[in-house]
Amino acid sequence: MPAPPSHREPPAGGEAGELLTRAARGDREGFRLLVEMHQPYAYALAFRLLRDPDRAADVVQESFIKVWKNLERYRPEGRFTTWLYRIVVNLCYDAMRRERVRRRFFGDLDPASAAADPPDPAGLQQHVEARDLAARVLRMAHVLPPKQRLVFTLRDVQEMDLEEIAHTTGMSVGAVKTNLSHARKRIRESLEKLERDHEGA
């Protein structure tokens, strides 16, 4: 699955609703078109949470399988994107917890994936120093506890607002704020330590 050109949410409108109606009736072509419409943003979200293209692709695939199997549970009064992204986030959170347990027992067997730069949107030109700093922050976020990493990525990378994060993750707004505060504090302390080590070298 190719990296998406951006992480903007697909536009809401009648087309998605029509495709949902078709899919709920068992129309596989309607469901395929629905997947094509929402797959890029879902993948961008999964990648920014997991920092691994293969695992992100697996999560997105599993997410749409869950959507297909549970279409009868979808309620038209809710936004489909919110429902989909909640599924993606929950699967990513499960994957992060499994990864944390694996690393606790076996260490980081694939450090290159944790250090990999995220795919850049097409045509986006960033200053080299800014990219280096962003890459450092993302690497530091990768080793945060799962809830902190989840909230930090959704707020400071995906730029979701606090209420949307709470709705998507099932946390209270207070819990979102607490985890975000802890995450930012850890990253800030790591950056300060890195700067001190650099100055002392």
pLDDT in tens, 95-121: 888 776 555 544 444 444 444 444 444
With respect to residue 118, please indicate whether it lies within any of the assigned structural domains: no
What is the domain extent for residue 159?
A: 124-201
The pLDDT of residue 138 = 77
Whether residues 81 and 2 share a domain: the answer is yes
With respect to residue 67, please indicate whether it lies within any of the assigned structural domains: yes
Whether residues 101 and 23 share a domain: the answer is yes
> How far, CA to CA in Å, does 200 sit from each of 17, 130, 136, 191, 193?
59, 22, 19, 14, 10
Q: What CATH number does residue 137 fall under?
A: 1.10.10.10
Extract the tokens encoding 19. Answer: 């495709």
Q: What CATH number does residue 46 fall under?
A: 1.10.1740.10
**Average per-residue pLDDT in the chain?**
77
The pLDDT of residue 37 = 92
Whether residues 106 and 129 share a domain: the answer is no
Whether residues 88 and 1 share a domain: the answer is yes
Q: How many domains does the chain have?
A: 2
Query: DSSP string of 114-157?
Result: HHPPPPPPTT----HHHHHHHHHHHHHHHTS-HHHHHHHIIIII
Whether residues 134 and 89 share a domain: the answer is no
Residues 6 or more apart whose Cβ sits within 8 Å of residue 137: 187, 191
Does the pLDDT of residue 42 top 60, yes or no?
yes
With respect to residue 26, please indicate whether it lies within any of the assigned structural domains: yes
Q: Which range among 33-37, 75-79, 113-117 has the greatest average pLDDT?
A: 33-37
What is the H or E stretch that residue 71 is in? none
Q: Is 84 exposed, middle or buried (0-12, 13-18, 19+ CB in 10 A)?
A: buried
Whether residues 129 and 73 share a domain: the answer is no
The pLDDT of residue 201 = 56
Q: How far apart are CA 198 and CA 200, in angstroms?
A: 5
Does the pLDDT of residue 15 top 80, yes or no?
no
The pLDDT of residue 14 = 59
Task: Taking residues 135-164, report their average pLDDT.
Answer: 86
pLDDT confidence of 18, banded at 50, 70, 90? Answer: confident
With respect to residue 189, please indicate whether it lies within any of the assigned structural domains: yes
